[in-house]
A and B are shown apart, each in its own frame.
Chain A
Amino acid sequence: MASAEVRQIRRRIKSVESTMKITRAMELIATARIGKAQQRVAQAKPYTEKMNDVIRNIGAATGSLSHPLLEHREVNSVGVLVVTSDRGLAGGYNSSVIRLAEHAVATHEAAGRNVRLYTVGAKALGYFRYRKYQISHQWLAVTDTPTYADARSLANIVLDEYASGRVDAVEAYTTEYLSALTQLAEKWPVLPIEPPEAEDGTVDAPVGYEFEPSAEEILGRLLPRYLEGTMFGMLLEASASEHAARRRAMKAATENAEELTRLLTREANQARQAEITTEISEIVGGAEALSHG
């Protein structure tokens, strides 16, 4: 008959084990999804690369690029876009991006610049709303599996804010996917668009480039697409990072749970042993008392 103490420890073991089942399942799901997310990042690369090519070529063919979206203007108001996930349990994934963004907001405000905040994901929304920040635009249910339509919606809002002069620059705070083990929260300038740098050795002004319609019009159509494309790439990377961070967090949680079960089992065994020892000594003591009586 197990005593109260042993029973309590056994109950804790059971609870830890059922938590472990959940964390292990989440780890497996995240692992499966990293692969998919990585694949999508890779599939989106050719488009962005070709797009960079085209912009470089227009630049080379026309001598210089000029477009409102490329012009740096005096910055009185900054748009800050924070990309987080909708769900937690992903280690430091959300908190490091949010910390970076909040620091940037404070810096801008200290410098007397007006800040407009855009959030992607429930985590950033919850964090900034709770702290009474004014949020200009918010997107939810994006980063789990971002679609191109999501990227377009982001790009459209940001372009609209920029074109109407509500903001003079936009920067994004998001997570770069460096490898399955390393993801880095970083700042990424969105607007004005930084035209892709010409790669060394590939600069040769194409002769007699023909534009249909004009070069200006092509550029005007191209730059919003370019923004959408890079936004899409950014969301895909953020998504891959989220899954990678979650897998790591859940792996650590599973390992901790294993360790905890091991310790608790040992504790339970000790308690049981102590109980048996007490019982034996009681019996022996009783027998002694009888035989001497």
Chain B
Amino acid sequence: MARSFQVDIVTPEAVVWSGEAELVTARTTEGDIGVLADHQPTMAALSTGAVKVVHKDGVTIAGIHGGFLQIYRNQVTLLTDRAELTEGTVEDARRAAVELREAEVAESEPAV
């Protein structure tokens, strides 16, 4: 069994997911990133896309929009503007993420 590490997916409104995981994949502005235990300390900007967290009880998938990923001492923190846990495949999460982005655009426009 792969070694596990701490993962937190946090939005300004709440902690979306928190726990021990063995693998995390996410989409950054530079491309997809996969994280296993003992990853090099990294800071990356997240883009709109799916996050997959593999843990001992299965797989959690979320659509996220924007934010940052920090990897430091086996602690992976995803600080994201918007996140939504989704059922089903990574494709579904990606669609959810796009919806989050559209929701943000819709929210910010009438306010200006």
Which residues of A line the B interface, CB within 8 A?
40, 43-44, 46-47, 50-51, 53-54, 57-58, 61, 148-149, 151-153, 206-213, 215, 217-218, 221-222, 225, 228-229, 232
Contact = CB atoms under 8 A, between A and B. Distances in A.
A27 to B, nearest CB: 28
Interface stretch (B41-49, B55-63, B84-92): B41-49
Contacts of A218: 43-45, 68
Contact of B79 (A43, A51, A212): A51
Contacts of B40: 208, 210
Given A149-B111, A152-B108, A210 B10 contact: no
Nearest to B29: A213
B41 A206 contact: yes
27 contacts: A43-B14, A44-B12, A46-B8, A47-B10, A50-B8, A54-B43, A57-B41, A57-B43, A57-B70, A148-B81, A152-B108, A153-B108, A153-B111, A206-B72, A208-B40, A208-B41, A210-B41, A210-B42, A211-B43, A212-B30, A212-B44, A212-B45, A213-B30, A213-B45, A221-B45, A222-B68, A232-B12
B28 interface: yes
Contacts of B8: 46, 50
Contacts of B70: 50, 53-54, 57
B10 A46 contact: yes
Nearest to A209: B41
A89 B32 CA distance: 53
B4 interface: no
A243 B30 CA distance: 45
Contacts of B14: 43-44
B25 interface: no
Interface string B52-83: 00000000000000011010100001010100
